[in-house]
Structure 1
């Protein structure tokens, strides 16, 4: 299971636009082949900072999504709202306690 974490900082006046876009596409992203979980977080101290966490069965699934028309459309719209450079990590989950 590959976990993809993306940190994005948005222009203050674009936060609502980003949230609306995410709401519009979240089910499409989550239903992409190999995607098992999609979550959106907002920093408690800086409302301009968001994180997405997505769980993928394999790296190939993530790469297929990243080369899809859906990703290209969403990323084009999303990056136009950035206030800073996004950061991303692909990590392996080691431990999960519930």
Structure 2
């Protein structure tokens, strides 16, 4: 399993547009082949910063999503709202306690 963490930073006035679009698209992202989990977080101290966490069966599944028309539509809309360059990490989970 691959975990993808993406940090997104928005102009404050663009946050409602981002959240509205995320609400519309989240189920489509979650239903992408190989996606096991999708979460959205907002920074407690800087409300302009968000993180997405997504779990993928494989790197190939993530790559297929990133090369899809769905991703292109989402990214074309979202990148206009940024106030800083997004950052992304692909990580392996080493430990999980529940």
Indicate the TM-score class for this superposition, using the shorter chain for normalisation: over 0.9
Query: For 1:32-91, what per-residue CA distance to the aligned partner results, in whole angstroms no more than 9, with x for missing partners?
Result: 000000000000000000000000000000000000000000001000000000000000
Tell me the equivalent position of 1:73.
Answer: 73
CA distance in 2, matches of 1:91, 1:67: 20
Tell me the equivalent position of 1:30.
Answer: 30
Aligned residue pairs, count: 98
CA distance in 1, matches of 2:20, 2:44: 19
What is the root-mean-square deviation of aligned Cα atoms in Å?
0.3
- 1:84 aligned counterpart, secondary structure: coil
1:14-93 to 2 correspondences below 5 Å: 14-93=14-93
CA distance in 1, matches of 2:93, 2:72: 27
CA distance in 2, matches of 1:31, 1:97: 26
TM-score (norm 2): 0.99
CA distance in 2, matches of 1:89, 1:3: 8
- Report whether the alignment pairs 1:5 with 2:5: yes
Q: Which residues of structure 1 form unaligned runs of 5+?
A: none
Query: For 1:13-42, what per-residue CA distance to the aligned partner results, in whole angstroms no more than 9, with x for missing partners?
Result: 000100000000000000000000000000
* Misfit runs of 4+, over 3 Å: none
TM-score (norm 1): 0.99
